[in-house]
Amino acid sequence: MKKWILIVALIVMASCANQEKKQTVELSYGQCQFGMTSQDGCDLAVRIDGKSYFVDGAHIDDFGDAHDEGTGFCEVIRKAEVKGELVDHRFKVSSVKLLEE
């Protein structure tokens, strides 16, 4: 019986450790808006606690015209509620909800 309790406890702890965290971040064009230089191109990035990370799982054009003067990520930094996790200095995103300002 003690073995079963231990096994169930370990499974519960392991499943809790893999949950993605929902958080509010700044979202924009990494190279121009956040000054990131580790890769070339127009790439979506998040800024969390003052640190910027390129995003995997979403593209800069997934949210409309990236060059729109008022809302495009090449022009402005937007707030977003995201679910994901940091893996190898990149943000692996599973959902993005843009917040209105």
Global pTM?
0.77
Q: Which 8-state DSSP code applies to residue 96?
A: E
Per-domain boundaries in the chain:
20-98
Nearest of 40, 43, 49, 14 to residue 29 by alpha carbon: 43
29 contacts 44 by C-beta, under 8 angstroms: yes
- Average pLDDT, 10 consecutive residues per value, the chain (101 residues): 63 58 93 91 93 94 89 93 95 93 63
pLDDT score, position 61 = 87
**Residue 51 Cα distances to 54, 56, 92, angstroms:** 10, 16, 15
**CATH class of this structure's domain 20-98:** mainly beta
Helix (H/G/I), strand (E/B), else coil: 60: helix
Res 20: pLDDT? 74
For position 6, what pLDDT does the model report?
57
The pLDDT value recorded for residue 8 is: 60
pLDDT at 21: 82
